[in-house]
């Protein structure tokens, strides 16, 4: 889920020197949305990500799990953005065990599992009782990868391009927000697919996440959420994730 600048209508409320030298400014306007260089960067190259042991109803092991997963995401997307000649910086991560903490883009929204704030480039992850009760399922992994997808959108100019538009109302903004959220879903799938063989998981773990999708105003139909997640997973790269050029029926 996205928090802050882009979601304001709905919610009141260190790269290496070599990478920095090779990168240029992120694109703007329509080019950032439909012709972004991240779409032409190929498959994600990281093929191994070791999941840390995690125990049911245990905050500490879940925090450690997410921190190690963040390392994998940083390594994978830093290289991917360098291939696209886009700038990279690491996001911040904060885990919370109760709602009410500020995110940098207002208070943590009710009903969310995690949010990304583009203002301070921070992922805030709510380790709720429900997700802690089943930590060995793929949900911790997938939600984290989704929020990191928003960070990729921020770095590649996609969020800036969306935010620079004028929206007459919430209803006018919702279709664009769905494109943003479904793209983050696809980017999460691309990362999961790229490291899947190293996880030692059953295919049913991923299928379970696909089937758990449900309709929401901000993310769209369950069928489309599952479509973009699987599309990213199958193609293992952001080239699968151009929701801004997709048929209306898919977003």
7 pLDDT higher than 70 = no
Contacts of 37 (CB under 8 A, 6+ apart): 27, 84, 85, 86, 156
pLDDT tens column, 18-64: 344 467 899 999 999 999 999 999 999 999 999 999 999 999 999 99
Nearest-angstrom CA–CA distance, 182 and 178: 6
pLDDT tens column, 75-115: 999 999 999 999 999 999 999 998 877 899 999 998 899 99
10 pLDDT higher than 70 = no
- pTM attached to this predicted model: 0.92
- Evaluate the CA torsion angle 92, 72, 215, 168 in order and state its sign: positive
């Amino acid at each position: 889920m996205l928090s802050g600048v882009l979601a304001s209508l709905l919610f009141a409320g260190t790269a290496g020197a070599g990478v920095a030298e090779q990168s240029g400014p992120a694109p703007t306007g329509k080019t950032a949305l439909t012709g972004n260089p991240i779409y032409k960067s190929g498959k994600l190259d990281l093929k191994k990500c070791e999941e840390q042991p995690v125990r049911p109803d245990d905050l500490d092991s879940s925090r450690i799990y997410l921190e190690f997963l963040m390392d994998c995401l940083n390594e994978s997307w830093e290289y991917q953005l360098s291939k696209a000649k886009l700038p990279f910086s690491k996001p911040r991560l904060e885990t919370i065990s109760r709602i009410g903490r500020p995110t940098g883009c207002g208070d943590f929204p009710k009903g969310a599992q995690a949010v990304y704030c583009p203002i301070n480039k921070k992922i805030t992850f709510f380790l709720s009782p429900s997700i802690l009760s089943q930590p060995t399922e793929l949900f911790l992994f997938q939600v984290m990868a989704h929020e990191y997808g928003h960070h990729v959108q921020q770095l590649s100019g996609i969020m800036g391009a969306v935010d620079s538009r004028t929206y007459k109302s919430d209803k006018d903004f919702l279709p664009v927000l769905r494109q943003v959220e479904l793209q983050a879903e696809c980017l999460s799938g691309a990362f999961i697919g790229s490291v899947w063989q190293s996880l030692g998981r059953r295919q049913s773990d991923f299928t379970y996440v696909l089937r758990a999708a449900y309709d929401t105003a901000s993310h769209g139909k369950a069928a489309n959420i599952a479509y973009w997640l699987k599309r990213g997973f199958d193609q293992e790269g952001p080239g699968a994730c151009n929701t801004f050029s997709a048929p209306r029926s898919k977003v």
